[in-house]
C-alpha cells in the first residue's frame, strides 16, 4: 500500500481512537469494554506469561527505575542521528544558513540540561524538618485537604495540595504527577524544570520538522520533479501532482 495512504490511515485511526476514548470515558461502556477485552486476553495467554507481564508492568510503572530514561536517550539519539546523516549534510551542500541548521543541536543541549534537572532535582519532598513551613503555604479547603489530615505511610501532616507518591514512597508538596520518563515526581520545586524540558523538546522537534520540510521542498524545486510525468499502475501517463510529490519525498 502507498505510504501516504498508510500514513493517513494511521492518523485517522489515532484520531478516531482519541475521540472514542473521550466519548466513552464519560460512560461505563469503556470500562466494560476494557474488562471484556482483558477477560478474552486472559483466557488466551497462559497464566505464567500473564504473571510475568504483570511483574514487568509493575516494575516499569510502579517502581523507580531508569528504563524510560534510557529509552528517551536512545530515541533522542536515533532522531538526531537521522537528522545529522540524512538532512544536515545535504542541507550544507544546498548552502542552508549554518545557524539555522545548528538550532536543533542548541535546543538539544538546553533540553538535556532541563531533562537532567527534572530527573535529579527534589520535587518538594515533605520531611519532619520542613513539614511546618509547607503547612503554611496553601490554605486548607476542608473538602479535599483538612488541617489535621496525616499521611498514613509517612506519618506526617499533609499540607494542602500535597500528595503521597506510591512509586517514590514520599509525600510531595504541590504534587502534579510521577513521570516515568524522568523517573521522578513532578512537584512544586521541579515543575518549572519539567515544563522547560517539555517546551525545549517540542521546540527541537518543531525546528527539525521545519528544516526537513524546507529541505524536501528545495529538493523538489531543484530537481524539477513537478514538471515530470509518471506511469501509473494501469500503464497511463500522469502529470506529477502534489500527492505524488509528497509521497516521493518520503521514499
Ligand atoms: Zn506520604
Ligand atoms: Zn514519585
The pLDDT tens digits for 143-187 are 888 888 889 999 998 999 999 999 999 999 999 999 999 999 999
99, part of any domain: yes
* Catalytic residue from among 119, 171, 179, 248: 179
49, part of any domain: no
233, part of any domain: yes
Sign, CA dihedral 125-126-128-131, equals positive
Contact between 190 and 117 under an 8 Å Cβ cutoff? The reply is yes
183, part of any domain: no
2, part of any domain: no
Which ligand has its closest atom nearest to the C-alpha of 155?
Answer: 1
72, part of any domain: yes
SS3 letters for 46-65?
A: CHHHHHHHHHHHHHHHHCCC
Range of the domain at 208: 65-118+195-251
Which ligand has its closest atom nearest to the C-alpha of 176?
Answer: 2
Closest residue by Cα to residue 227 from 216, 241, 212: 241
Contact between 173 and 188 under an 8 Å Cβ cutoff? The reply is yes
126, part of any domain: no
Residues 247 and 228: their CA atoms lie apart, in Å, by 15
Asked about 154 being catalytic, the answer comes back as no
pLDDT-derived band at 249, boundaries 50, 70, 90? low
The pLDDT tens digits for 14-53 are 999 888 887 777 677 777 877 888 888 888 888 889 899 9
Residues 218 and 54: their CA atoms lie apart, in Å, by 50
Total domains present in the chain: 1
Give the Å distance between the CA of 230 and the centre of ligand 2.
Answer: 57
Give the Å distance between the CA of 14 and the centre of ligand 1.
Answer: 37
In terms of phi and psi (left: phi > 0; alpha: psi -120 to 50; beta: otherwise), the region of 155 is left
Q: How many residues does the chain have?
A: 251
Amino acid at each position: 500500500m502507498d505510504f501516504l495512504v498508510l500514513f493517513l490511515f494511521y492518523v485517522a485511526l489515532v484520531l478516531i481512537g482519541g475521540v472514542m476514548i473521550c466519548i466513552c470515558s464519560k460512560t461505563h461502556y469503556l470500562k466494560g469494554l476494557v474488562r471484556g477485552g482483558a477477560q478474552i486476553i486472559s483466557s488466551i495467554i497462559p497464566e505464567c506469561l500473564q504473571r510475568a507481564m504483570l511483574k514487568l508492568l509493575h516494575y516499569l510503572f510502579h517502581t523507580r527505575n531508569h528504563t524510560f530514561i534510557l529509552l528517551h536517550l536512545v530515541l533522542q539519539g536515533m532522531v538526531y542521528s537521522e537528522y545529522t546523516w540524512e538532512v544536515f549534510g545535504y542541507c550544507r551542500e544546498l548552502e542552508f544558513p549554518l545557524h539555522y541548521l545548528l538550532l536543533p543541536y542548541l535546543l538539544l543541549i538546553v533540553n538535556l540540561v532541563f531533562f537532567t534537572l527534572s530527573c535529579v532535582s527534589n520535587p518538594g519532598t515533605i520531611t519532619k524538618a520542613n513539614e511546618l513551613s509547607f503547612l503554611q503555604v496553601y490554605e486548607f479547603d476542608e473538602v479535599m485537604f483538612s488541617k489535621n489530615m496525616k499521611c498514613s505511610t509517612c506519618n506526617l501532616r499533609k499540607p494542602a495540595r500535597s500528595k503521597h507518591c506510591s512509586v517514590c514512597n514520599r509525600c510531595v508538596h504541590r504534587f502534579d504527577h510521577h513521570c516515568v520518563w524522568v523517573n521522578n515526581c513532578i512537584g512544586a520545586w521541579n515543575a518549572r524544570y519539567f515544563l522547560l524540558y517539555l517546551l525545549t523538546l517540542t521546540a527541537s522537534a518543531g525546528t527539525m520538522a521545519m528544516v526537513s520540510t524546507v529541505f524536501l521542498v528545495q529538493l523538489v524545486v531543484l530537481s524539477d520533479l513537478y514538471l515530470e510525468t509518471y506511469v501509473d499502475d494501469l500503464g497511463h501517463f500522469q502529470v506529477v501532482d502534489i500527492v505524488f510529490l509528497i509521497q516521493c519525498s518520503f521514499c
